[in-house]
Amino acid sequence: MDTTTVVWIIVAVVIVLLVLVVAAVVMRGRTEQRRTEAAGIRGQARDESHRVGQQEAFAEETAAKARAAAAEADAKRAEAERLEHRAGAHSHEAASAREELDKKFERADEIDPDRKTGDGEKS
């Protein structure tokens, strides 16, 4: 082999090694850049996690208020039904009392000698 050929082979090997070293450095830099980017995203996510936690707590508090209001509405509905039932019973009692009272007035009118009959004469 000629010395020129040996020199060219050595130059080629050195160039290949340089390309490999440059590729390794670029890959390492890229990997580090991705680590830094991932750490930044994780930091933002932690910051947002607190805000999201507050939103979840507010949503749960609102849901609890809604459940309490629904329970109160159910209690009010039951009370209204109970009162309606009582009002119906009182109305029935009042109607019966009115009916008996009217009968007493009619009976009093029937036996009252001073009460005029429907044709204008005393009974």
Q: What is the pLDDT of residues 44-87, one digit of tens each?
A: 999 899 899 999 999 999 999 999 999 999 999 999 999 999 99
What is the structure's pLDDT at 74? Answer: 97
What's residue 35's pLDDT?
Answer: 87
Residue 43 zone, left/alpha/beta (φ > 0; ψ -120 to 50; rest)? alpha
Instruction: Express each pLDDT in 18-52 by its tens digit.
Output: 999 999 988 888 888 888 999 999 999 998 998 99
Report whether 102 contacts 95 (CB < 8 A).
no
The answer to whether 87 touches 80, Cβ cutoff 8 Å, is: no
Please report, as a single letter, which amino acid is at residue 27: M
- The amino acid that residue 15 corresponds to is I
Distance CA 55, CA 63 (A): 12
Query: Which is higher by pLDDT, 34 or 118?
Result: 34
pTM above 0.85, yes or no: no
Classify residue 48 as exposed, middle or buried by CB count within 10 Å of its CB (0-12, 13-18, 19+).
exposed
For residue 123, pLDDT over 90 is answered with: no
